[in-house]
């Protein structure tokens, strides 16, 4: 009887253990390999527990994958930029195949790569979702920019790197906060962010990617770039005739593509730009557009902190 009771106790303990394991680890064996259920912008999708052939359809997802040690087999390019994040180094990008542009992914090229996971964005590729899902399990984030941290964690979960993603994000946030603390007077320094795109000049607000990074450090922003009263606090347009509105204690300037770079050269050579207090003080700095604008991930965020340390002296 004692042996029977002991056996029943052991069996019960094993049963409880298995039940607990099932609740904490949503990995299921389908017979074709283990999968996990991911809830995302388009619903719920079963993805491989350890995806091996990943296609990414937005610039933030290239940053995310490479930051987490996953080299995509394919990636879309960002229109005017015509490239992927070079700040990771040419070696890490060498094996990636181009699969169209962000707004028009090349479905044939994606199919040919035989992906086991596709990462995209509802904001950019919603109309392609059904076709992409027919190729491979597809996970979409909802928005771009403002939700970059949530996107990073969701993509990390889809890649099977959830804990690593949490640690990388926490590490970045600590570094940003520590940087601001080291400055001492961070809030009193007004950082202006200006971007030239073909035909337009933008100033970036507190809900843009680079604006959020600046905010994480505790650095201040010019009143004009707080975008108070505006529903969209990512960016606003400024005409060349009103470029005096982009002044700050320090200005960081980027250009999206070659055409925008030519426009940047023209405007920044003019008297209005040259009259800005930051320009006269030698505190206007040209920085990388792919880092400050299109990177939108932990890798790019840390590179922005590198720039801030370089130019603000901390």
Question: What are the two backbone dihedrals, phi and then psi, of residue 239, each rounded to the nearest 5 degrees?
Answer: -80, 155
The structure's pTM equals 0.87
Closest CA relative to residue 65, chosen from 299, 235, 280: 299
Residues 219 and 135 in one domain: no
Residues 36 and 154 in one domain: yes
Residues 146 and 211 in one domain: no
Asked whether residue 10 is assigned to any structural domain, the reply reads: no
pLDDT at 13: 40
Per the rule left: phi > 0, alpha: psi between -120 and 50, beta: everything else, 299 is alpha
Residues 132 and 191 in one domain: no
Range of the domain at 275: 178-312
| Average pLDDT value for residue range 238-256 | 95
- Mean pLDDT of all residues belonging to the chain: 89
In degrees, to the nearest 5, what angle opens at C-alpha 66 toward C-alphas 61 and 71?
A: 95
Residues 283-303: tens digit of each pLDDT: 999 999 999 999 999 999 999
Residues 117 and 189 in one domain: no
Asked whether residue 171 is assigned to any structural domain, the reply reads: no
Query: What CATH code is carried by the domain that includes residue 218?
Result: 3.40.50.1980
DSSP letter string, 283-296: -EEE--HIIIII--
β-pairing, 200-204 vs 235-238, is antiparallel
Q: How many domains does the chain have?
A: 2
Distance CA 167, CA 177 (A): 15
Residue after which a domain boundary falls, among 160, 189, 215: 160
Asked whether residue 93 is assigned to any structural domain, the reply reads: yes
Asked whether residue 231 is assigned to any structural domain, the reply reads: yes
Handedness of CA 231, 236, 242, 243 (dihedral sign): positive
| Average pLDDT value for residue range 144-173 | 96
Residues 282 and 183 in one domain: yes
Residues 194 and 79 in one domain: no
pLDDT at 3 over 60: no
Q: Which residue in the block uniquely carries the two structure tokens 């699969």? A: 99
pLDDT at 29 over 90: no
């Amino acid at each position: 009887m004692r042996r029977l009771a002991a056996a029943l106790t052991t069996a019960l303990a094993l049963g409880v253990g298995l039940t607990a394991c099932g609740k904490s680890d949503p990995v299921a064996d389908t017979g074709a390999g283990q999968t996990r259920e991911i809830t995302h912008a388009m619903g719920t999708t079963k993805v491989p527990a350890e995806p091996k052939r990943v296609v990414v359809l937005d610039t933030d997802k290239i940053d995310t994958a490479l930051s987490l040690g996953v080299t995509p087999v394919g990636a879309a390019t960002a229109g005017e930029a015509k490239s992927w994040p070079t700040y990771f180094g040419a070696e890490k990008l060498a094996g990636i195949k181009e699969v169209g542009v962000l707004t028009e992914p090349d479905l044939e090229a994606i199919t040919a790569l035989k992906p086991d996971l596709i990462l995209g964005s509802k904001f950019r590729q919603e109309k392609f979702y059904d076709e992409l899902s027919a190729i491979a399990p597809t996970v979409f984030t909802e928005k771009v920019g403002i939700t970059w941290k949530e996107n990073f964690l969701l993509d990390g979960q889809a890649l099977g790197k959830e804990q690593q993603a949490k640690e990388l994000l926490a590490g970045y946030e600590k570094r940003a906060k520590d940087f601001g603390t080291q400055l001492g007077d961070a809030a009193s320094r007004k950082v202006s962010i200006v971007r030239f795109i073909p035909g337009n000049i933008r100033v970036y607000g507190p809900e843009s990617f680079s604006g959020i990074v600046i905010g994480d450090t505790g650095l201040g922003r010019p009143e004009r770039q707080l975008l108070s009263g505006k529903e969209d606090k990512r960016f606003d347009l400024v005409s060349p005739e009103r470029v005096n509105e982009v002044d700050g204690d320090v200005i960081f300037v980027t250009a999206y593509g070659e055409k925008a770079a030519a426009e940047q050269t023209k405007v920044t050579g003019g008297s209005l730009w040259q009259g800005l207090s930051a320009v006269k003080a030698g505190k206007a700095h040209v920085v990388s557009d792919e880092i400050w604008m299109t990177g939108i991930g932990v890798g790019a965020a840390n590179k922005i902190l590198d720039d801030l340390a370089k130019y603000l002296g901390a």
